[in-house]
Structure 1
Amino acid sequence: MNRAVEVSVVLPAYNEADTIERTVEVTLATLEEFLPAGAFEVIVAEDGCADRTPEIASRLADEDERVRHVHSDQRLGRGGALEYAFRQARGETLAYFDTDLATDMSHLEELIESVRSEGYEFATGSRWIPGNTADRPAKRGIPSRGFNVLVQLLLRSELQDHQCGFKAFDREVLFDVLEDVEDSHWFWDTEVLVHAQRAGYEVREFPVEWTPKGDSKVDLVRDVFGMGSQIVRTFWQVSVSPRLDRRVNVAVGTGLVALALVLMTTYLDPGEVWANMRQADLLVVGASVLVYLCSWPLRGTRYRDILERLGYRSDPAFLTGAIFISQTGNLVFPARLGDAVRAYVMKARRSVPYPSGFASLAIERVFDLLTIAFLAGVVVLGMVVTMSPAELQTAIAGTELAGGQEQAGRTAMVVAAGVGAAAIAVTLGIVLSARSDRNYVRGAVSRLSNDSYADYVAGVIERFAGDVQTVASDRRAFALVGTTSLLVWTIDVLTAVVVLAAFGVELTPFLVGVAFFAVSVGNLAKVLPLTPAGLGLYEGAFAIIVVGLTPLSGPLAISIAVVDHAVKNLVTLAGGLVSMAWLNVSLTTAVEETEAIADDERTRATRE
């Protein structure tokens, strides 16, 4: 390596054919003013451009030995292109600035000498600290202020401006910090500075004169989705994850399970339930537990079949444990965040990329909703055939339940109808789009954003939708997963039927049909996160149907629904605890472990 070169200036270039030649000329002229001849180089980091930038950069490099052209065939992203070029640079002091020359070049000497001769490891220009001159219109200034305030609050940064494209680094120190940096696009600057401060390195921030160039605007995809998610991800990495040792994991996991048990008491009166259970056959209630347990290996088998169709292999036992853990998370986390826990577990333990992990969950949910809606629809069709419309309407609308559950029941019926209709509509959309060559995803994203970060987001969504369509478009896979789903939810209903028997209810064919309808509607009702784990909605829907269509009383129907739901939740909790111990994973370590895995999905998407 030629160590005569002391300073390497990198110019990140993506489709800069109109400006790159002038930018190189200005950069060389400015460096000549304060650095000895032969002590610097200018690198054009050309990031998979689609215009004449590569041709121009190559010509400039041929004409001047101080200029180098670093080319990438694929899109690396802004941060990825910078890092790629820095690793090929010769200088011990590394710097870069945006090629639009928005920052006045009179500050270049101060930037470079801060690191080269003044002892700082990092230096950055700032458009926000006193002494700066920056013409920032509101559409730029307000989002920038908001972003920097969030970084200061959540990531404990002392800097005022993290995204100013005017920075210099000590080579050795930068590469040390980059070991912890995961982003390869717009957040790269911020993440470098945050990790540098936390590592104790000296960072100099100084005011610059800055003039915006071009018609930049707030970008929904990059600024809101991209930057916001990266702040949250880095907050977890630097503030939460380091505090999670094994003792904390065990304590938090145990606390979450305890919380789930407490939440269960919000919808059941232990005294009333115990009084009803004293009249029930506890051995038969125990049998319902065994019946319900039979559905879990089927869930693992179904998930295996879905993953295999997506190109990932795993054993049903492990997958059953992963489902137990995620469903336990759904009992205690709001908005079904336990589903995300499963995606984390699959990424950490089976290297299933996040988009595919979430797509596999989406496929599972689609089949769940379709199967439940199908079961309910079959029963309704049978009731329509055997009962008059007036009898059916009177039975349901005129139902009165104890404990004020009638309103919850009616709400659950509305929710169930809406969820069922939405499930069918979404499934039809997926199947139809699977047979179409039109790219709906990229078209929709492009309407929200014209920034290059939209390419990454569109790529992730396209892969997600494509994975869902992979199963929907395969008739054999569709039939296989559909059959397993039917078995899973039939066992779920049979669990409730056994609970009915435990209360001494005579199981006529009609009552079994009502049970299928009541359980199906109850499960549809609790899909939306209106209450924790659907508590109250399931019981209300179940009871209002049972009371309306059978001679059973309201209190008895509610007790049966409570016991049925409690049996299923307790089995889920117990299975979750066993699975967490068996797989040595907790609801918190499931997130922690993924921080050790490079986000290859983001990198691959930005290269496309």
Structure 2
Amino acid sequence: MSTGTEVSVVLPSYNEADTIQHTVETTLETLAAFLPAGAFEVIVAEDGCEDRTPEIAARLADADPRVRHFHSDERLGRGGALERAFRAADGGTLVYFDTDLATDMAHLEELVESVRSEGYDVATGSRRLPGRKQDRDPERGVASTGFNTLVRLFLRSELHDHQCGFKAFDREALFALLDDVADEHWFWDTEVLVRAQRAGYRVREFPVDWTPQGDTKVDLVRDVFGMGSQILRVWWEFAVAPRITRRVTVGVGTLLVLAAVALMTVYLDPSEVLDRIAAADPRLVGLAAVVYALSWPLRGARYRDVLAELGYRESVGFLTGAVFISQTGNLVFPARAGDAVRAYVVKTRRAVPYPTGFASLAVERVFDLLTIAGLAGTVLVAFALAGLDPTSAGGGDVARSGRTALVVAAGVGVVAILAVLAIVLSARSDRNLVRRAMRAVSTDSYADWVAGIIEQFVGDIQRVAGDRGAFARVGASSVVIWSLDVVTALLVFAAFEPALATGRPVLVVAVGFFAVSVGNLAKVLPLSPGGVGLYEGAFTLLVVGLTPVAAGTALGVAIMDHAVKNVVTLIGGVAATLLLNVSLTTAVEESREVDSDETAARDD
């Protein structure tokens, strides 16, 4: 750090060509009024501007040694631009304020001296302290009030105004906090304030005179999606995540399963369910296990095709083992922790980089969800074309349950079709459809930042969708894989209800596709290891609502179907861990750490 520079003021700038020169000149003049010459610097943190701001900032820096200019070709986000500039600044007191000078500059000395000479670690201006009402646009006032209330309530902040763009930090205190600050845009300073209070730093909030500049309005992406999701993220990190140990998660999951079973006994006779399971044809149950086992080499082949599009070629046998291990992890550990295990396995055994492993997993998951949802939607179309009324199978609550299930699945099917079209069109088009769609609902610069995150996710999917051959292979194999999953359930169904399976085969097949699809969609929620309970509940509800099968039999089919699939998965997973010499516990723990590191690296 330079010897003479005590205060560094950073001006985060995005398309400020009309105001940046006036702002810099006013800042220099105000600082010179209370600081010694050579004791301060002004840094223009220009963040991927599309106007003349870079040229103006560069000219100002060339003309005055007290001015520095940091340029970025790409959008870093307001927080990202601030952090980059602060790390390069020379001052021990680090300051920033909005370039529109909405806060009266008469308060700048009080802001700086609060940290520089009065011993505070953080100082922030406030427009919302009790007794200090400011004139605000009504729409923005409501949004600001709601935001600050949520931060105070959920994040236990003692401050009243977290978003006032007028803050100062002690250099050492700020840098001690930055490694834990995840947001890079509008929530950045709020997160810093919250973390500073949690860490016990001295934070001062003082009233400022503030005048709105330009048009302000509630922005869907920034205010609702952006700010709301960040509050939930930090709340989860502070209040929930520390309590979610493996012991607690397994215990809660067990209690949930026991509670579900206890509630089922209110409506079902457990002995009836057990009798139905005992009476099932063991030959058909065994055949169901064989059919399900046949789907696993197809899973390995599909994963091979996905990895090939991302630039890596591996054998089907090895990749089938990797899939077995990851799915076994999902059965053993909660919150689908096994998903990340696959990236660990292909990295340690075949040197496939972690980013590629995570990307391939995302691609596969999207195809899985789209295929499952698409199968459910296809069944609805088949019902309509055949003129069938599946809800006529039962009356009263059963019929209403069936109709409700149909409505929900219809929505899922429509979303699946739209998602497939969006992915294919975006992969075939030179236009940036993600960014266009985001800008259609938001005019704020934050929309570009959010769009960039979404583009990182869909980009890997588009690489597969952009190759017609690869898209067809992965899509077709996904359909076959999940069709075999349904055939497995149908064989179990026939083991329980042979008369219905032979007498009304069209209805049984249709309901089988429908129930398995919606049951697997329910498993997407990471509420229990392997989705135990979720799958059985959704499957039973749909079978009872769409067929004349009794609830006890339907639950028996669901339990046996899921059990057959889980047993095959466990056998294959254990065999794969032995053959590949992989410790499942070590894989889960290390993949969690790598997942966090890769997420942070991508954000940087």
TM-score tier after normalising by the smaller chain length: 0.7 to 0.9
Take 2:414 and 2:181, find their aligned partners in 1: how far apart are those partners?
Answer: 44
What residue identity is the alignment partner of 2:539?
Answer: Y
Take 1:417 and 1:69, find their aligned partners in 2: how far apart are those partners?
Answer: 55
Of 496, 500, 516, which residue of structure 1 is paired with 2:489?
496
Take 2:363 and 2:378, find their aligned partners in 1: how far apart are those partners?
Answer: 22
Question: Residue in 1 aligned with 2:115?
Answer: 115
Question: Residue in 1 aligned with 2:424?
Answer: 431
CA contact (8 A) 2:329 2:588 kept: yes
CA-to-aligned-CA distance 1:553-594 (integer Å, 9 cap, x gap): x44xx5554333112333566658989996338999988875
The 1:8–1:489 alpha-carbon spacing in structure 2 relative to 1, beyond 3 Å, is closer
Question: Residue in 2 aligned with 1:214?
Answer: 214
Question: Residue in 1 aligned with 2:321?
Answer: 317
Question: Residue in 2 aligned with 1:15?
Answer: 15
Query: Where in structure 2 are the equivalents of 1:99-248 lying within 5 Å?
Result: 99-130=99-130, 132=132, 134-244=134-244, 248=245
CA-to-aligned-CA distance 1:26-54 (integer Å, 9 cap, x gap): 11111121111111112222222222222
Is 1:37–2:54 an aligned residue pair? no
What residue identity is the alignment partner of 1:181?
Answer: V
Of 469, 474, 480, which residue of structure 2 is paired with 1:476?
469
Deviation at residue 405 of structure 1 after TM alignment: 3.6
Take 1:175 and 1:229, find their aligned partners in 2: how far apart are those partners?
Answer: 24
The 1:204–1:218 alpha-carbon spacing in structure 2 relative to 1, beyond 3 Å, is same
Question: Residue in 1 aligned with 2:561?
Answer: 568
Question: Residue in 1 aligned with 2:248?
Answer: 251
Take 1:136 and 1:500, find their aligned partners in 2: how far apart are those partners?
Answer: 64
Question: Residue in 2 aligned with 1:599?
Answer: 600
**Helix, strand or coil at the partner of 2:71:** strand
What residue identity is the alignment partner of 2:8?
Answer: S
CA-to-aligned-CA distance 1:524-546 (integer Å, 9 cap, x gap): 45477699736565345546766
CA contact (8 A) 1:182 1:598 kept: no
Take 2:232 and 2:379, find their aligned partners in 1: how far apart are those partners?
Answer: 41
The 1:131–1:8 alpha-carbon spacing in structure 2 relative to 1, beyond 3 Å, is farther
Question: Residue in 1 aligned with 2:89?
Answer: 89
Greater Cα offset, 463-472 or 112-121: 463-472
Take 1:414 and 1:63, find their aligned partners in 2: how far apart are those partners?
Answer: 67
Take 2:539 and 2:602, find their aligned partners in 1: how far apart are those partners?
Answer: 38
Deviation at residue 419 of structure 1 after TM alignment: 4.5
**Helix, strand or coil at the partner of 1:263:** helix
CA-to-aligned-CA distance 1:52-83 (integer Å, 9 cap, x gap): 22222222222222222222232221111111
Greater Cα offset, 530-539 or 558-567: 530-539
Deviation at residue 366 of structure 1 after TM alignment: 1.7
Greater Cα offset, 469-478 or 94-103: 469-478
What residue identity is the alignment partner of 2:429?
Answer: S
Question: Residue in 2 aligned with 1:551?
Answer: none
Take 1:351 and 1:103, find their aligned partners in 2: how far apart are those partners?
Answer: 43
Question: Residue in 1 aligned with 2:348?
Answer: none
Question: Residue in 2 aligned with 1:26?
Answer: 26
Deviation at residue 492 of structure 1 after TM alignment: 2.3
The 1:147–1:594 alpha-carbon spacing in structure 2 relative to 1, beyond 3 Å, is farther
The 1:229–1:588 alpha-carbon spacing in structure 2 relative to 1, beyond 3 Å, is farther
CA contact (8 A) 1:371 1:485 kept: no
CA-to-aligned-CA distance 1:421-454 (integer Å, 9 cap, x gap): 6544543454345433344332222122111110
Greater Cα offset, 505-514 or 224-233: 505-514
Question: Residue in 1 aligned with 2:393?
Answer: 399
Unaligned runs of 5+ in 1: 333-337, 548-553, 604-608
Question: Residue in 2 aligned with 1:584?
Answer: 585
CA contact (8 A) 2:79 2:188 kept: yes
What residue identity is the alignment partner of 1:89?
Answer: A
Greater Cα offset, 447-456 or 470-479: 470-479
What residue identity is the alignment partner of 1:453?
Answer: Y
CA-to-aligned-CA distance 1:277-296 (integer Å, 9 cap, x gap): 34334565465445445545
What residue identity is the alignment partner of 2:321?
Answer: A
Question: Residue in 1 aligned with 2:539?
Answer: 538
The 1:287–1:114 alpha-carbon spacing in structure 2 relative to 1, beyond 3 Å, is same
Question: Residue in 1 aligned with 2:528?
Answer: none
**Helix, strand or coil at the partner of 2:10:** strand
Paired residue total: 573
How does the TM-score come out when normalised to structure 2? 0.81
Question: Residue in 2 aligned with 1:408?
Answer: 401
* RMSD, aligned CA: 4.0
Is 1:273–2:266 an aligned residue pair? no
CA contact (8 A) 1:412 1:537 kept: no
What residue identity is the alignment partner of 2:449?
Answer: Y
How does the TM-score come out when normalised to structure 1? 0.81
What residue identity is the alignment partner of 1:533?
Answer: L
CA-to-aligned-CA distance 1:303-360 (integer Å, 9 cap, x gap): 453355356789443434444555889xx9xxxxx67x67776789844698876554
Deviation at residue 420 of structure 1 after TM alignment: 4.5
**Helix, strand or coil at the partner of 1:210:** coil
**Helix, strand or coil at the partner of 2:498:** coil
**Helix, strand or coil at the partner of 2:185:** coil
Take 1:58 and 1:417, find their aligned partners in 2: how far apart are those partners?
Answer: 57
